[in-house]
Amino acid sequence: MGSSTGGPALLSALLSQFPADFPAPVVIAQHMPASFTGALAQRLDASCALPVREVTGLVPVQPGHVYVARGDADVVLGRRGEDLVVRPAPAGSAYRWHPSVDRLVASALEHVDPARTVGVLLTGMGDDGAEQMAQLRSRGGRTVAESEESAVVWGMPGQLVARGGATRVLHSDQIAAQVVAWA
């Protein structure tokens, strides 16, 4: 999942709809400074049935857990042996916004079968996440773009739609149910 302006409240609303037995991990890149992402993870943890943690080091990925990227850095997926892991990565100039949704999705495409991956691009300015989520869809993954009607800012999801990369364009009230159904 990727979001920016308007994302924290929406993430709380979405994750509160996920059941405790949700069978997949959730990794979130929310554009936000480092001083706020720990509090965001705590707030999300208190508002949903899934355990939520901020990614501050290498962490094995587990189904039914939520991983929030640390602000002012990026979060990437990788492998340690056969295990999928998530870790912070220093913010670099190759990506304009941080935590970078494009970098997160690019790393997922390297280490996870696209057919088993769902990308969700939520409210936010700019185009972060649009290019890599369009790639995800073209390689067999499923993607959701938040609709213009519900997004605080339709930049990021609008760019995904403009690139033909959205499997579904959904109002924020419909996103969680679709993701749960696809899981």
Residue numbers annotated as active site: 4, 31, 128
Query: Dihedral angle at the C-alpha atoms of 27, 30, 34, 37, nearest 10 degrees?
Result: -70
- From residue 133, alpha-carbon distances to 20, 105, 117, 137 in Å are 26, 7, 10, 6
Distance CA(110)–CA(166), nearest Å, equals 20
Nearest to 176 by CA among 124, 120, 130: 120
Cβ pair 123, 14 in contact under 8 A: no
